[in-house]
Amino acid sequence: MTLKKIVLPLLSLFLLYRTVELCRYLFAMEPSSLTNFGSAILAVLLSMFVTGAFAFVGFAYPTNAVLPAAYYSVNNSKLITSIHDWLGVKYFRKMLLLTFWGTKKNRKMFFNGTKAGIENFIHMTKQSEFGHLGAFVVLLILSIILLIQKHYLLVSVLTVINVIGNLYPIILQRFHRMRIASVFNK
């Protein structure tokens, strides 16, 4: 067993613990006691904790296997394309390429140009999608609870972060797999 398979899940557990502690704090506090800046910072922290908890364990283990293989197949390519275009996910993709994924080294982690690289790319899209889907659902549930407790500004910021940080990547990964499938089906 590699060190990565021990350390990364421990980091996920730590972030899960921090998420629970932050939620206890938020659920016990009056929304009016938070400043606008405080609400925004707590929304960012909550998003980072939850998304990081899913990401770190996904870097060590094939977490995408939690969902059935049928989930990852794209059955309605027109719907995915419409959502992709309507939300402007292509601009999100361009932003990723201008920042983190712009270097050749980082892109090769997903695809190295070989046939085996295509299989790795498909696997990595599933891993990424699962991590973002898990975070998206957990943050959505927490947003509903916080909305009921009248944390309006915090939920607004958290929703924007959740859509851009988790929903966009889910759509992007499905779009990638759809495009790869269309090439193989020709």
Which of 74, 50, 81 shows the shortest CA–CA distance to 125?
Answer: 74
Place of tokens 């009248």: 150
Could you give the residue ranges of the DSSP H alpha helices within 36-114? 36-60, 69-72, 77-87, 89-98, 104-110
| CB crowding 54-73: b at 16 or more within 10 Å, else e | bbbbbbbbebbeeeeeeebe
In this prediction, residue 185 carries a pLDDT of: 63
In this prediction, residue 94 carries a pLDDT of: 86
- pLDDT tens by residue, the chain, 186 residues: 688 999 999 999 999 999 999 999 999 999 999 999 999 999 999 999 999 999 999 999 999 999 999 999 888 889 989 999 999 998 988 888 788 766 666 666 667 667 777 888 888 899 999 999 999 999 999 999 999 999 999 999 999 999 999 999 999 999 988 888 776 665
In this prediction, residue 120 carries a pLDDT of: 82
Could you give the residue ranges of the DSSP H alpha helices within 61-167? 69-72, 77-87, 89-98, 104-110, 115-148, 152-162
In this prediction, residue 123 carries a pLDDT of: 86
- Count of domains in the chain? 1
Task: Please tell me the distance from the alpha carbon of residue 4 to that of residue 141, in angstroms, as a whole number.
Answer: 30
Residue 105 structural domain: 4-66+75-185
In this prediction, residue 3 carries a pLDDT of: 86
